[in-house]
Amino acid sequence: MKSRNKKIDYSKWGYFFILPFFVSFFIFSFIPLLDTIRYSFFEYYRSGIKEVGPNFIGMENYISLLKSDMLKYAANTLILWIVGFIPQIVIALVLAEWFVDARLKIHGTQFFKVVIYLPNLIMASAFAMLFFTMFSNNGPVNEILLSIGLIKEPVDFLGSVFGTRSLVGLMNFLMWFGNSTIMLMAAIMGISPDVFEASDLDGCNSFQRFFYITLPQIRPILAYTLITAIIGGLQMFDVPQILTNGQGTPDRTSMTLIMFLNSHLKSRNYGMAGALSVYLFIVSGILCFFVYRITNNDDPDGSKAAAKKAKKQSRRG
């Protein structure tokens, strides 16, 4: 009798638990989002210290954005992201595998883990500033290369498209590969040791073990890493902003979407910034959809299938 009553009560508790999250989201994200969308249909900016607008202009902001170089900046963002993300995820997977592989007998794992995570702690702005001075034409890197005779003239790292993009990629890689390693390691360690023992008995080599057991098992966390990396990529701002002084030099080839948004926000062009935000919102929606499709074939959050599989496999093992 008592317990039946409670059963009905319990499910309602769920609402209390999730209430703060939704209230906070509603106030700090949803209302601002609506506001942003509303102003995207207005001409509204500041000229000098005088405000112009808001005047309703319909879709004009959207159209003029399409006519601008927005798509080029989207491509820049994608390239900059890939340059950093591919090495990041590959190295992170390899390192995570190594760290949990007892047969490798890696010395000082603790030390390495601490060290590779370290760059993630420096704020992107400080890191970018450091890179900016170090890779400038008269900076330490050029001086070192000159003094050991590797080059005769200083390399203009930030003057070439390749150099700038590589540097942005390198920084993103350095900042995030340790983070991914730790996440993936947590996932690999979450796999039941029985599975590995079984695979050892079956004579799996390291590669087989990695591709047939580890990878499928850590798919939820891999998806998580991928999603956060995509969000991070779409939001890429601090690093190229500070490295190129907000200009996306050379030739605006390292101008990302958020830098573009920032330059509108800075000139207080609320209408244009609003329209750009809506585009970004749509893009993030599409990306999100694809990520789910790629990482989960059937169930919406993916982890269930993986958990089931893990259980099945561990039982089998």
Partner 1 sequence: MKKRVICVLLAAAVAAGSLAGCGGKSSDGGASSGEEGKVINVYSWNDEFRKRVEEVYPEVKETSTDGTVTTLNDGTEIHWIINPNEDGVYQQKLDEALLRQADASADDKVDIFLSEVDYVYKYTDADADVAMPLTDLGIDPDADLADQYEFTKVTASDVNGVQRGSTWQCCPGLLVYRRDIAMDVFGTDDPEAIGEKVKDWDTLKATAEELKAKGYYTFASYADTFRLYGNSIEAPWVSPGETTIKVDQKIMDWVEDSKEWLDAGYLDKNVKRQWVDDWNKTMGSSSNVFAFLFPAWGIDFTLKKNWDGEDGVWGVTNPPQEYNWGGSYVHACTGTDNPEKVKDIILAVTGNQENLLKISKEYLDYTNTKSGMQKVAEDSSYASEFLGGQNAFQYFVPVAESIQIAPLSAYDQGCVELLQNSFSDYFQGAVDFDKAKENFETAIIERYPDITAIQWPE
Partner 2 sequence: MKSKQPSHLRSIVAHVVLIILSFMCLFFFYILFINATRSHADLQKGFSALPGSYLFTNLKNVANDGTFPMFRGILNSLIVSGCSAAIATYFSALTAYGLYAYDFKLKKAAFTFIMAILVMPTQVTAMGFLRLITNMGMYDSLLPLILPSIAAPSVFYFMYSYLQSSLPMSLVEAARIDGCGEFRTFNQIVLPIMKPAIAVQAIFTFVSSWNNYFVPALVIQSKEKMTVPILIATLRGADYMNFDMGKIYTMILVAIVPIILVYLLLSKYIIAGVTLGGVKE
Distance of CA 135 to the CA centre of its chain: 24
The 256-275 site mask, x for binding partner 1 (CB under 8 A), equals ----x--xx-xx-x--x---
> Binding partner of residue 52 among partner 1, partner 2, none, CB under 5 to 8 Å per kind?
partner 1
First to last CA, the chain: 42
Site for partner 2 in 47-86 (CB under 8 A): none
Print the SS3 string covering 218-246.
Answer: CHHHHHHHHHHHHHHHHCCCHHHHHHCCC
Toward partner 1, which CB reaches closer, 18 or 106? 18
Between helix 270-295 and helix 60-67 the angle, nearest 10°, is 70
- Indicate which single residue of 54, 57, 98, 136 sits in contact with partner 2 (rule: CB under 8 A): 98
**Angle, CA of 15, 17 and 19, to the nearest 5°:** 65
Site for partner 2 in 136-175 (CB under 8 A): 139-140, 143-144, 174
* Closest to 270 in 3D by CA, of 24, 28, 3, 57: 57
Q: What is the largest CA-CA distance in the chain?
A: 88
Answer left, alpha or beta for residue 48, where phi above 0 means left and psi between -120 and 50 means alpha: left
Site for partner 1 in 177-206 (CB under 8 A): none
Stretch that binds partner 1, among 107-115, 137-145, 182-190, 229-237 (CB under 8 A): 137-145
Are 314 and 108 within 8 A, CB to CB?
no
- Indicate which single residue of 133, 282, 288, 294 sits in contact with partner 1 (rule: CB under 8 A): 133
Site for partner 1 in 161-180 (CB under 8 A): 161
Are 170 and 85 within 8 A, CB to CB?
no
Residue 47 backbone dihedrals phi, psi, to 5 degrees: -115, 115
- Indicate which single residue of 65, 89, 158, 182 sits in contact with partner 2 (rule: CB under 8 A): 182
- Indicate which single residue of 192, 235, 249, 284 sits in contact with partner 1 (rule: CB under 8 A): 249
Site for partner 2 in 208-247 (CB under 8 A): 220-221, 224, 227-228, 230-231, 234-235, 237-238, 242
| Residues that contact partner 2, how many (by CB under 8 A) | 110
Are 229 and 88 within 8 A, CB to CB?
yes
68 forms part of the interface with partner 1 (CB under 8 A):
yes
* H helix or E strand, kind and range, residue 159: none
- Indicate which single residue of 52, 54, 60, 120 sits in contact with partner 2 (rule: CB under 8 A): 120
Minimum CB separation of residue 59 from partner 1 in Å reads 17
Give the residues lining the site for partner 1 (CB under 8 A): 20, 45-50, 52, 68-69, 133, 136-139, 154, 156, 159-161, 245-247, 249-252, 260, 263-264, 266-267, 269, 272
